[in-house]
Structure 1
């Protein structure tokens, strides 16, 4: 079995970074044990075929790809998941909603219809939720700061984003690789989720 680390997801952070201005902006949802078709069914959406993740300029759609352990959905510019959507999708499973934006970033772990752990991607020490410390062993293994006194110098931007993606893959089992993007995927419009 592959060891997942922050370096595992630098390719995805790079894909959603405008390198001219060094701005990373994306939203992802890692879903345990559901295929993209099942995700779309739970959301009441009609899917269309996808030919890759949305490009940096595509602000109107999201794409979903099947992984070995579930599905990963991604969008650019919009927050893919809100609280109600996360609660609804996580019934009888687990999901991570991850948003990296200009003035805000958020990691939220939902399980069995509950928000378990939430924190700012660049500040995992400020966790909240019904069980805010549930993911601490994974945070520590990934080298993420977990306590107020932890040294968090350098833990922002690309380091924080790739660590959050690795954490999402670890806790959901939905590990996305570039090879998954060569398989058929599904797409939907952001307007259908709002």
Structure 2
């Protein structure tokens, strides 16, 4: 297992984890699209304010979309976000923890971070080495797999997201209509 790969995204996991070790994270890596296009696809108007919201960050190779609601903005229209591209989403909160990969609107695979054997769909062969190296191909409750899932999302989409990207201004908007 590559700890270096997981460490690459440990900071992002910690950004969405509080002092009580509760995590509230819903992050999508969308290949080849700019932030404005990602928001347009889900009818989010930049600059609007609501009870729930999303932030779209420019990243190397695409956009990272962070949901600040109940994590349902991405679930509302995954086929719209992945149409003509590849999108991977990692969700980790008190209700669920899962990884999903969509290519051109089709769900390729979805699995619980701690219950891989209950997955839907298959992982493309070119991604299996990453999945195995990160230790996501098994049912494991003994360690935190969220940073590993974030690293896998990056590799599956080719979208790299760093602290430098996160420190830049994001396009934000209300996502109440997606809840």
Aligned length: 173
How far did residue 154 of structure 1 move? 1.8
Mapped to 1, the partners of 2:43 and 2:52 lie a distance apart of 18
- TM-score, with length taken from structure 2: 0.87
- Relative distance call for 1:4 and 1:66 in structure 2 (3 A) is farther
Counterpart of 1:102 in structure 2 is 94
The alignment status of 1:127 with 2:119, answered yes or no, reads: yes
Q: CA RMSD in A?
A: 2.2
Task: Decide whether the 8 Å contact of 1:31 with 1:95 is kept in 2.
Answer: yes
Counterpart of 1:13 in structure 2 is 13
How far did residue 178 of structure 1 move? 0.8
The alignment status of 1:169 with 2:154, answered yes or no, reads: yes
Counterpart of 1:78 in structure 2 is 70
1:35-70 deviations in whole A, cap 9, x for unaligned? 001112222321129xxxxxxxx9722211010110
How far did residue 123 of structure 1 move? 2.1
Counterpart of 1:190 in structure 2 is 175
Task: Decide whether the 8 Å contact of 1:25 with 1:77 is kept in 2.
Answer: no
Counterpart of 1:154 in structure 2 is 142
Counterpart of 2:24 in structure 1 is 25
1:92-137 deviations in whole A, cap 9, x for unaligned? 10101221110311211000110000001222232212xx132432
- TM-score, with length taken from structure 1: 0.80
Task: Decide whether the 8 Å contact of 1:67 with 1:175 is kept in 2.
Answer: yes
How far did residue 153 of structure 1 move? 5.3
